[in-house]
Amino acid sequence: MEEKIIKTEYSEVMQKSYIDYAMSVIIARALPDARDGLKPVQRRVLYDMHELGIKYDKPYRKSARIVGDTMGKYHPHGDSSIYEALVVMTQEFKKGLPLIDGHGNFGNIEGDGAAAMRYTEARLERITQEAFLSDLDKDVVDFIPNFDETEKEPGVLPAKFPNLLVNGSEGIAVGMATSIPPHNLGEVTDAVKAYMLDETITTKGLMKYIKGPDFPTGGIVTNKDDLLEIYETGAGKIKIRGKVEIEKGKAGRTNIVISEIPYPMIGANISKFLMDVAALSESKKTQDIVDISNQSSKEGIRIVIELKKDADVDNFVNMLYKKTRLEDTFGVNMLAIANGRPEVMGIKEIIKHNVDFQFQVAKRKYTTLLARERERKEIQEGLIKACNVIDLVIEILRGSKDRAMAKACLVEGKIEGIKFRSKESKIMAAQLCFTEKQANAILEMRLYKLIGLELEALINEHEETMANIYRYEDILDRRDSMAQVIINELDAIRRSYGKKRKTVIENVAEAVYVEKKVEEMEVMFLMDRFGYVRCIDLAAYERNKEAADSENRYVFSCKNTGRVCIFTNTGQLHTIKVMDIPFGKFRDKGVPIDNISNFNGEKEVVIAAASQMSLNLYRMIFVTKTSMMKVVDGGEFDVAKRTVAATKLAEEDEVISVVVLNDQKQIVLQTGEGYFLKFGVDEIPEKKKSAIGVRGMKLNNNDYVEQVYFLKSGEGQTITYKEKEIDLQKLKTAKRDGKGTKIRVS
């Protein structure tokens, strides 16, 4: 067969392929449907459990069986994603209304993961069966082929309430993400009823019923006034706090008890919260904490912080709100698939999509039920009629040679070949005109149906069927009747599964935390050869001065309110607040400097102290390997960032010296080849930190500045260069950008 090569633009192929991939992720993986509030994997898990018969009143089945069956039939994307979806649908602390009843270890609120699927078991919750799956046999939704077209699966489940609002949803697609908070089932059903009774109702009107999100973890929403805009636009930020209670502790102390946490704190963030509180004590932000304990159990969250007797409790609680995740933000972006495309919707649009879907489902359901009742009516009428002429029917059956002959007589009155006892029977038989279905029912009728009570039951059943037909026709003909049926179902769901609201909705003023002023004191900064840093008090340094100077690379005094500045060879400046450096005893190990700063993998040129929080009191002299130099005002480094670019460097250049300009009068540059150049510091111009600077001395090819020395007025300085002592004061003073003098060593 001859090959056919299609030439096309590579960028067009990439663009089309990426768009196809993106749409597949958006529509078929990551985003929920506005109608049933489920992602495809969740819908497939629930439908597979329904198909397997794992109902709420049946025994639990292994999760591995459910996952394997779902993957093999409907969701060929790996077992981990299926099991994760199953686990989340069982967790009461994540879902306002769990859809699966889990048996075994399905994780907990503190972030411990679920056990492997071979150890856990699951079955459907009762509400899932009643509100999502019970009507699937009534042709209420379209079934679509699965991935290999060997099975059929529902394109959507006939949810009887807006599950998208009740359980919320989170998902990341390509170029978009959804984040919908959970809400109270009772409030949502009330809002749906209000919308059905008045479709012109506003979002503000709906909020008389839906007060706000209702997180499974409780908590307090603090920006009630922002909710209207969030619910109208479908996007915004909800501020939520944990619930704090004050209890009396031992020995007159006060206990801060956290009984509810913000929803975003679920999981590992609880342990991070405990670490953050401990860090506040270690960093001396507060000295009020005596003990922290996590006493949480199956009964609920209980985190206890024991405070000192004289602690300012209100200020401490405000500090927790400001400095930890006890007050957090839930970003709302109510994005879902509506009419086959992703759309950000407010609560009214979400309710509208669900209500429209409810009417579609109800129409299909009662159309199917009406057809079934009409079929039953036809058969019942045939049986009643047959009972009235039962003797004739028996005579026809006894006189016929086969089933086909008897059926032809019952349907069309054909009497040829049938033996009758009398002419009257023959004449009556010729007048019979049962329908096909009636004739089949008569032929399959058992003799006990001829008992008087059975006949009476058949007549009663027919009357019930006629009543159902009348009711279904009324529901299909009148929208009000259909609406009332939907409202009745919502009321039943609310009565059976409604719960009290857990989250409090109110307007709360922003927490004001007054940080206690730290008493300013002089401390000694120590950094050893391994990069571990610590601060000690002056008295401890004086007692161990000799050991401190010999064991550490950097030793200098600084204020505890100041900052330590690290200038590196790559031209970066890293600043560390002295308060962030551990303060302790002389023999304490300290912490690695890169743990408390962004300094990592670079070579420090100098580490110096800024005695004030501001650097604008200093002027810095920079010298690089290629002899570029400048003076920079320290105010340029006085920024909030912990890391800034201290200078601009040419390619392959690096900083070799950074010095605070005080009373230095002269500078001496020494190169690797032994050239020395001495000139006045006043020849170095002041430049911006973004400038490269000016050349200090002319260098030979492959030569570089190796050392920089500074001389003060009237002070001599002797150095040793290759075992030769050189008095820098006796060097000839020249001009900047000269060649310098070569020191010859015999």
Catalytic residue numbers read 119
- Indicate the SS3 state at residue 77: coil
CA triplet 98, 101, 103: central angle to 5 degrees? 135
- The length of the chain, given as a count of residues: 746
User: For residue 31, what is the enclosing H or E element?
Assistant: none
Distance of alpha carbon 598 from the chain centroid: 27
User: CA 689, CA 647: separation in Å to the nearest integer?
Assistant: 5
**Residue whose C-alpha is closest to residue 556's, from 611, 599, 511:** 611
User: For residue 598, what is the enclosing H or E element?
Assistant: none
User: CA 46, CA 89: separation in Å to the nearest integer?
Assistant: 10
**Assigned token pair, 732:** 């000839």
Contact 605, 548 (CB under 8 A): no
- Indicate the SS3 state at residue 273: helix
User: CA 704, CA 294: separation in Å to the nearest integer?
Assistant: 60
- Indicate the SS3 state at residue 153: strand
Sequence-ordered list of residues with C-beta below 8 angstroms from that of 597, at least 6 positions apart, any chain: 566, 574, 575, 576, 642, 643
Work out the angle between the directed axes of helices 185-197 and 479-497 (0-180°, nearest 10): 170
**Residue whose C-alpha is closest to residue 270's, from 404, 502, 110:** 110
- Indicate the SS3 state at residue 321: helix
Integer CA distances (angstroms), 265 to 241, 270, 508, 615, in order: 10, 6, 20, 38
* Per-position DSSP letters for 485-549, written without gaps between them: HHHHHHHHHHHHH-----SEE-B-PPP---PPPPPP-EEEEEEETTSEEEEEEHHHHHHTHHHHH
**Assigned token pair, 428:** 């009556």
User: CB-hemisphere CA count at 13 Å for 371?
Assistant: 7
Judged on CB neighbours under 10 Å (0-12, 13-18, 19+), 486 is buried
How many DSSP H helices and E strands does the chain contain?
20, 35
Amino acid identity of 276?
Answer: D
Work out the angle between the directed axes of helices 40-52 and 63-73 (0-180°, nearest 10): 110
User: CB-hemisphere CA count at 13 Å for 728?
Assistant: 26
